[in-house]
Amino acid sequence: MTKDNLNLRREKLKKNLNNLSNGKPFLSIIFSGSSHALDRFVPDSTFFYFTGLEIQNASYVILFDGQRFYDALFLPPPNPMRERYEPIEISSGHLDKSGNADSTRKKAIRQTGFEAVHSNYELMDFLTKPLNIVKEIYLDFSIPQGAGSESAAAFYKEIREKMPHIVPKNLKDIAIKLRNIKDSSEISKIKKAVEIAIEAQNAIMDILTPGIYEYEVEAVVKYIFTRRGTQRESFATIIGSGKNSTILHYNQNRKLIGKNETVVCDLGVQKDGYCSDLTRTFPSSGKFTKEQRKYYEIVLEAQNLAIKTIKEGVTISHINKVVAEFYKSKGVAQYNFHGVSHHLGIDVHDGINVDEPLMEDSVITVEPGLYNQSRRIGFRIEDDVVVKKNGVEIISRDLIKDIAEIEKRLSKPRKKIIF
Ligand SMILES: [Mn+2]
């Protein structure tokens, strides 16, 4: 992520906040969160979007005093005891006796691209000083996803308690609005994440066979993800066979895969902060049964229809409606359990409302499914697309999905799961 992109994002945020507060003074704070002792740290996605940083207990603060903006990053101060437990690449450093940044702080300024870096010791002071002029404070009210959510909630609670007379306002909606449109660096990161997810789906097609456990398939997925240098899945990988293929978020992955079952493989990985999310449904024995084939063809047709519908200005609600009507015409509406699309980005479900018109360079999934629970047949086909003015770019186009192609690949000798 270049510093230019980050600066541009922060400029847009300031402009939006300024509009919202009608030019009156305000404060805004975005907290990065923190992890439990042995957990791998996941920064708050909004903090990451505006800073590109993965630093625990850091805050991005904006102060507008009515005349100008002060942009500041607050970081944990150097702490040799903590550094015995965790690597600390960037810390706030200190001010020297004459009030100048010491070399650690200078390094932090250089590495983060912020003009001002302060220590967390200075945070409450910085926040409470302008309280005679500031009447509004923008915070992220929603509990951030992932690890660190408790610490973020506690942090925001403390801030609000210390400033009882200030009107708290929600920053999340503005952040989500900005995050709706991906810049070129974001799209290229999502493409990388998709590439790795495709590799995982291809690996599944090499090893899938009746008689192995769902978790063995998951192990192959995780092997690919980790080997490619990623640190986390977009969500817990779903490998659902037979009746499990009809349970949308089945991620226990404990069952032995039987003969002639449908196997829903829904997986994604976060690479450089951005998620992929791809689903394919494979026949465990290499060939779909006649009944399975019927469902698969309908789901694939529904997906093609959805993809043809998507372009700038269309809403996700509309896409859902188009697919629902198509299913109705095929007599399978009762097996349609969920919406077709969600936004994809730093969060696997980038939280944009389904009634918001899609924008050029929004990135969404297209994932219709059908689930006949009594027949133990579930199907989902999911691709990731960039929305364009007059259509889409299918990022995951290299991953096969036609019945003939899948059956051909699955007819090859099975690879053993040995590394
Ligand atoms: Mn999805």
Query: Across-strand partners of 101?
Result: 95
pLDDT per residue of the chain (419 residues) written in tens, 0 to 9: 567 799 999 999 999 999 999 999 999 999 998 888 788 888 999 999 999 999 999 999 999 999 999 999 999 999 999 889 888 889 999 998 898 999 999 999 999 999 999 999 888 888 888 777 888 889 887 654 444 456 667 777 777 787 777 888 889 889 999 999 999 999 999 999 999 999 999 999 999 999 999 999 999 999 999 999 999 999 999 999 999 999 999 999 999 999 999 999 999 999 999 999 999 999 999 999 999 999 999 999 999 999 999 999 999 999 999 999 999 999 999 999 999 999 999 999 987 789 999 999 999 999 999 999 999 999 999 999 999 999 999 999 999 999 999 999 999 999 998 76
| Distance from residue 407's CA to the centre of ligand 1 (Å) | 24
| Distance from residue 223's CA to the centre of ligand 1 (Å) | 21
pLDDT recorded at residue 150: 62
| Distance from residue 286's CA to the centre of ligand 1 (Å) | 25
| Distance from residue 191's CA to the centre of ligand 1 (Å) | 15
403-410 and 184-207 helices, crossing angle to 10°: 50
Residue 399 near residue 201 (C-beta atoms within 8 A): yes
pLDDT recorded at residue 407: 98
pTM score: 0.93
| Distance from residue 218's CA to the centre of ligand 1 (Å) | 17
C-beta atoms surrounding 35 within 10 Å = 17
| Distance from residue 291's CA to the centre of ligand 1 (Å) | 25
| Distance from residue 319's CA to the centre of ligand 1 (Å) | 15
| Distance from residue 365's CA to the centre of ligand 1 (Å) | 6
| Distance from residue 377's CA to the centre of ligand 1 (Å) | 19
Q: Which CATH superfamily is domain 184-410 in?
A: Creatinase/methionine aminopeptidase superfamily (3.90.230.10)
* Residues in Cβ contact with 119 at an 8 Å cutoff, skipping those fewer than 6 apart: 74, 75, 76, 77, 92, 93, 94
pLDDT recorded at residue 151: 65
Q: Establish whether domains 3-179 and 184-410 are of one fold.
A: no
| Distance from residue 289's CA to the centre of ligand 1 (Å) | 26
| Distance from residue 389's CA to the centre of ligand 1 (Å) | 23
| Distance from residue 197's CA to the centre of ligand 1 (Å) | 12
| Distance from residue 263's CA to the centre of ligand 1 (Å) | 16
| Distance from residue 248's CA to the centre of ligand 1 (Å) | 10
| Distance from residue 296's CA to the centre of ligand 1 (Å) | 18
Q: Which CATH number is 3-179's, of 3.40.50.300, 3.40.190.100, 3.40.350.10, 3.50.50.60?
A: 3.40.350.10
| Distance from residue 57's CA to the centre of ligand 1 (Å) | 30
Domain-by-domain residue ranges, the chain? 3-179, 184-410
Residue 248 near residue 324 (C-beta atoms within 8 A): no
Can you tell me the distance from the alpha carbon of 394 to that of 79, in angstroms, rounded to the nearest whole number? 47
Can you tell me the distance from the alpha carbon of 80 to that of 408, in angstroms, rounded to the nearest whole number? 58
